[in-house]
Amino acid sequence: MIDLCQQAPSWIRNFAPYVPGKPAAELARELGLNPDGIVKLASNENPLGVSPMALEAMRSALTDIARYPDAGGFDLKRSIAARFGVDVAQIVLGNGSNDVLELAARTFLTPGTSAVYSKHAFAVYPLSVLAIGATGLETPARDHGHDLDAMLAAIRADTRIVFIANPNNPTGTFVRGASITAFLDRVPTNVAVLLDEAYTEYLDDADRYDSIRWLARYPNLIITRTFSKAYGLAGMRVGFALAHPDVADLMNRIRQPFNVNSVAQAGAVASLHDDAYVARSRALNRDGMRQLTEGFARQGLNWIPSYGNFVCVRVGAADTVFQQLLRKGVIVRPVGGYGLPQWLRVSVGLPAENERFLSALAETGVRAA
Ligand SMILES: *Cc1c(COP(=O)(O)O)cnc(C)c1O
């Protein structure tokens, strides 16, 4: 390592980067295949493609990209405020919700403080915490999901933030609303609770809870949402946090002023009005989840019941099966890095994509582990 890099803090030098889903174009290059023949079920993207309303709005916005975007995100914040019944002052916009996760971490953490998150939870939590040189306290999972009692017990005097993904990625596990409010009732008010609801739109009505209403009762609650999943805008990078105005104010101070580009802002505003698209995404996901899990059952494979738009299936030697699937032009996600070396995560695709994946999986000859 060159002298300069030796000067970087130890937590940067020891940093293990995030491993994203393999892009279809990359696999196509490696296999010498047409990218259109590749099935990518690796990043929980919306298989419907972009909403026509959002696409139209983004096309119009392109004409103005010589200008900087609106740093205050006026239209988008106003649309979010109207849609979710919050005040504009409670909103923090992000370049994807990953950006707001990092803003929350940078707002409250320093070296010498700590954050709590669960084993098998979303990888961006440890990334955001460790990049600051703060300490990550990882609690054991319960049934592959968050054990809120263990998380409460893990909170120390130096803890500033607790991360909860609900539903969680990559396991798809879900914690009931009543358990979360019981948790919030017991967490010290000087510890932020970041509730990451990236997949909330996919929940069945019976499982839904109104976390936004909780903001009035719990000033330490930060809710994050994204346009990357059910709203179909993963490539545009837009997400947001909802929090107490004082918290949102702090997070907004350290935000890059132009962190959400103008095309993304326009697409996000339009997508908030495309209820039909979100409803179609939900219905497609429900049917595709049934298709996948019925396929697993037929192949005698175990899976973790999922509340998201993806599901983890147990295949034993997951890295080998992952490679076998790649050679058949199917990209899924190994989750060994999440402490699940026997599992693969597959995103729900279109019916034909799900079928391609299921038959490729059957051809690998995997058996229940
Ligand atoms: C996909 C995902 C997000 C969304 O990230 P963006 O940066 O908004 O694309 C956030 N949290 C979890 C748990 C996710 O799986």
For residue range 44-82, what is the model confidence (pLDDT) as tens digits? 999 999 999 999 999 999 999 999 999 999 999 999 999
> pLDDT class for 366, splitting at 50, 70, 90?
confident
Nearest Cα to 106, choosing from 90, 89, 87, 124?
A: 124
Looking from the CA of 361 toward its CB, the CA atoms found within 13 Å total 31
pLDDT at 369: 54
For residue range 101-125, what is the model confidence (pLDDT) as tens digits? 999 999 999 999 999 999 999 999 9
CA 38 / ligand 1 centre spacing (Å) = 23
For residue range 5-46, what is the model confidence (pLDDT) as tens digits? 999 999 999 888 888 888 888 888 988 888 888 999 999 999
Buried b (16+ CB within 10 A) or exposed e, 153-191: ebbeeebbbbbbbbbbbbbbbbbeeeebbebbeebeeeb
Ligand 1 contacts CB of residue 122 (under 6 A): yes
pLDDT at 36: 86
Average pLDDT in the 297-302 region?
A: 96
Average pLDDT in the 180-204 region?
A: 98
Residue closest by Cα to atom 2 of ligand 1: 198
pLDDT at 32: 87
Nearest Cα to 303, choosing from 360, 345, 352?
A: 345
Cβ atoms 284, 46 nearer than 8 A? no
* pLDDT > 90 fraction of the chain, expressed in percent and rounded: 92
| Whether residue 126 has a cis bond before it, omega within 30° of 0 | no
Ligand 1 contacts CB of residue 234 (under 6 A): yes
pLDDT at 209: 97
For residue range 202-216, what is the model confidence (pLDDT) as tens digits? 999 999 999 999 999
d(CA 73, CA 3): 42
Identify the residue whose tokens are 């999943």. Answer: 229
For residue range 118-167, what is the model confidence (pLDDT) as tens digits? 999 999 999 999 999 999 999 999 999 999 999 999 999 999 999 999 99
Ligand 1 pocket mutation pick from 76, 122, 346 by most atoms within 8 angstroms of CB: 122
In the chain the domains, ranked by start, together with CATH numbers, are 3-49+276-363 (3.90.1150.10), 52-274 (3.40.640.10)
> pLDDT class for 4, splitting at 50, 70, 90?
very high
Average pLDDT of the residues of the chain? 96
Q: 330 has which bridge partners? A: 39
* Cα 198 from chain centroid (whole Å): 5
Question: What 3 state SS string does 102-170 have?
Answer: HHHHHHHCCCCCEEEEECCCCCHHHHHHHCCCCEEEEECCECCECCHHHHHHHCCCCEEEEEEECCCCC
Q: Measured between alpha carbons, how far is residue 201 from residues 20, 88, 243, 261 in Å? A: 23, 21, 19, 24
Atom of ligand 1 nearest to the CA of 229: 1
Ligand 1 contacts CB of residue 45 (under 6 A): no
Cβ atoms 343, 317 nearer than 8 A? no
